[in-house]
Amino acid sequence: MNNLLRVSLSPHEQSKESTSKLMFGVVIALLPALLASVWFFGRAAILVTAVSVASCVVFEYLIQRFLIKREPSIRDGSAVVTGILLAFCLPVNLPVWLIVLGAFVAIGIGKLTFGGLGSNPFNPALVGRVFLFLSFPVQMTTWPVPKGFATKYADAVTGATPLSILNENYDKVAIDQLMTDSQAGLPGHMQAFWGEMGGSLGEIAAFALVIGLIFMLIRKIITWHIPVSILGTVLLFTGILWLANPSDNADPLYHLLTGGLLLGAIFMATDYVTSPMSSRGMIIYGVGIGILTVLIRRFGAYPEGVQFAILIMNAFTPLINSYVKPARFGEEVNRG
């Protein structure tokens, strides 16, 4: 026997898990929401998603190859995930050039300037989204009304999202009456659950997002800590507000089902790179996002606060990682 023997150190086995498998697992988890968005918004949904994903992947390749001059890492699938998530928080009639610009900012600034995968402090898809939101507020707050496959991309009829209607009417009109007023344009709870409402591509279909959550939990792509702590905190605080003043607030379940909360809690806040590492840290992070979301929604100028809440808590992640450590074995000696 002539071949040399390897003498590298233990462990001599590796699990079959890989970065790209995890990323493509997230893509699979996003498919129900993608299908739902096509159901409600038609072919435009495919167009927006495809443009976003293609732009993210192409920009990552070009910048890495020609600017940074290193081996492009598009095969790990993270640019694809960013592309889908960016598309999911855009209005389905956003002009193509804005989608491409958003992808450039998300990948180029949100991810690659910091060193690429693993080094970015902020969620890249949200960086791209917030850039578009602040720089092009009109286009980014014009929401097409879903009309299924009949929805036209270019000349879509637009309408308000549930949260924007609520936001306009806080402290002016009795909210509980608004919710039952069929003229007001607020979808009911069941419509919000299934996705029959205005909003961005990926945020409307609550049930599709929850399917994705269950899939990721089973595949052990994420743990329950972040989604549960965000949603639990939002339920708690909107519940307190609603019980204190039912005529001036929507009920907690409505808050859960509307806006980008589910999309953010399940897919954005759970981004590995920008969220804390320890379980206790994740809960602190989730509670922070929940509180900020409720504050911005109810008391702030913007109808939806999830995007800002997540980016703000992303900034706290390194601090949380420094101070919140996992429980060490043997620290509190357990004398049985």
Partner 1 sequence: MSKTFPRGGVHPPENKISADAVIEQLQLAEQVIIPIAQHIGAPASPVVNKGDAVKAGQIIATSQGFVSANIHSSVSGKVNKVDKVLDSTGYKQTCIVIDVEGDEWVENVDLSPEIKKEFDFSGEEIIKKCSDMGIVGMGGATFPSHVKLSLPPGKKCNVLIINGVECEPYLTSDHRLMLERGEEILIGTTILMKALGVDRAMVGIENNKPDAISHMTLLASEFKGIEVHGLKVKYPQGCEKQLIKALINREVPSGGLPMDVGTVVHNVGTAFAVYEAVQKNKPLIERVVTITGKDIPRPVNLKVRIGTPLTKLVEAAGGLPEQTGKIVNGGPMMGKAVGSLDIPVTKGISGLVLINEAEAKRNVTGPCIRCAKCISACPMGLEPYLLMTLTEKGFKEKAESERIMDCMECGSCSYICPANRPLLDYIRLGKWFTGKIIRERMHK
Q: Which residues bind partner 1 (CB under 8 A)?
A: 1, 3, 5-15, 17-19, 21-22, 73, 76, 78, 116-119, 223, 272-273, 275, 277-278, 325-336
The Cα–Cα gap between 13 and 27 comes to 27
The Cα–Cα gap between 107 and 125 comes to 8
Q: In the complex, what is the shortest distance from the CB of residue 286 to partner 1, in angstroms, rounded to a whole number?
A: 14
Nearer to partner 1, 119 or 247 (CB): 119
Residue 143: phi, psi to the nearest 5? -105, 120
| Bridge partners (DSSP) listed for residue 143 | 159
Other C-beta atoms lying within 10 Å of the C-beta of residue 65: 13
Q: How far is CA 230 from the centre of its chain?
A: 12
Q: In the complex, what is the shortest distance from the CB of residue 293 to partner 1, in angstroms, rounded to a whole number?
A: 23
> What spatial distance separates the first Cα and last Cα of the chain, rounded to whole Å?
55
Q: In the complex, what is the shortest distance from the CB of residue 271 to partner 1, in angstroms, rounded to a whole number?
A: 9
Tell the residue number behind the tokens 């379940």, with chain if given: 253
Nearer to partner 1, 101 or 217 (CB): 217
Q: In the complex, what is the shortest distance from the CB of residue 327 to partner 1, in angstroms, rounded to a whole number?
A: 5
Nearer to partner 1, 13 or 155 (CB): 13
| Pair 164, 141: CB distance under 8 Å | yes
Nearer to partner 1, 7 or 190 (CB): 7
Residue 326: phi, psi to the nearest 5? -65, 155
Nearer to partner 1, 15 or 182 (CB): 15
Residues recorded for the chain: 336
Q: Which residue type sits at 109? A: I
Nearer to partner 1, 73 or 139 (CB): 73
